Amino acid sequence: MTTLLLSHRACLRHDPGEEHPECPDRLRAVLQALASEEFAALRRAEAPAATPEQLGRVHPQGYVEAILGIRPAEGERVALDADTVMSAGSAEAALRAVGAGVAAVDAVLQGAARRAFCAVRPPGHHAEPGRPMGFCLFANAVIAARHAQAAHGFARVAIVDFDVHHGNGSQACVEADASILYASSHQSPCYPGTGEARERGVGNVFNAPLPPGADGARFRQAWAGALLPAIEAFAPELLVISAGFDAHARDPLAQLRVREPDFAWLTAELCGIADRHAGGRVVSLLEGGYDLDALASSAAAHVRVLMRT
C-alpha cells in the first residue's frame, strides 16, 4: 500500500520575514528532496483547509477566530511574540498545515494509504490551546490525533515527537487525557524550557531530555530505553509523529549531534510498533529543522523508511 505525501503551495506564503529561521525555503528544500526519482512512488495530494470544527477540538473558538482574523496586508507582518510572526499568507498556510494532518488521518484510517507525511508549515508543536508560540499557530499533530478519535472512533493515539525542542504545546493539549500518549526526546536546557522527565501528565506523558552535545547513540538509547517501551505498552491504534529534524548535528538552533541514520532508525522502530498495534498506520507532520541541507536529507531519510517498511 502506498505512502501519501500531503502539501500545499499556500504553505510557502507564510513569510515571517528575512533572517527568520522558519522560512519558506525550508519547505522548498524538503519538497525538492522528495521530487527525485527515488520518491516517484509517493502518492501526492494537496492539503485541504482545516474546518472550524476540526480546530475547535483543541483550540477555543475565540482563539481560532483571533488567529484567523489576523490578515496583514501584503508585505506587512504582525508579531505575536518575539518568535512567532504572521504575514498575509499565514492564516491560509496554518489552515492547510492542520488540514494536511486531518486528511492524512482520513487516508490511513480509510485504507487509501498505509503511511502519510505532511510537508507543511508553519509547524505546530509549541502552540498551546490558547496561545501561539515558537513559530507555531495551531497544534497540528494534536488536531490530527483528535480527528482520529472524533471522526473515526479511535480510543488510543500516540503522538511521538523527536524535534530538538520540547513540544510544550502538544503536551499542554493532552496531558490531562489518558487516551493520548505523548512521548518526546529533546535538548535540555533549550527553548521552551519545559519537558522534564518528571512531567508525566496523568501517566500519559513521557519526556527524555538530552544534554547539549548528545549524539546519535545517546538519542537511540533514550528511545530504546524508555520512550519506545512506553509507546509499545500503550498499544496505540494510530501513531502521529511530530517530525522535527533540528536535532541534526548541523542545525543552527540547538546542539544535539543526531544524524540521518538515527532518524531513519527511529522511524523504522516507530513503524514496527505501528505494524504490531495500529495496522501500520502512521501520520507524520513536519516540525522543525533549520539547516536546509540537513533538513532535506533528514526528511528524505524519514520518508524513505515510511515507504519501505
Q: Is 126 a catalytic residue?
A: yes
205 contacts 195 by C-beta, under 8 angstroms = no
Cα first-last separation, the chain = 11
d(CA 1, CA 43): 10
Query: What is residue 79's three-state secondary structure?
Result: strand
Query: What's the CA gap between 98 and 87, in Å, rounded?
Result: 17
Q: Which of 125, 126, 147, 165 is catalytic?
A: 126
CA separation for the pair 46, 107 (Å, rounded): 13
Confirm if 33 and 107 have CB atoms less than 8 A apart: no
CA angle 289, 295, 296 (to 5 degrees): 150
Question: Angle at Cα 123 formed by Cα 275 and Cα 112, nearest 5°?
Answer: 35
Q: Give strand pairing partners of 43.
A: 4
Catalogue the active-site residues. Answer: 126
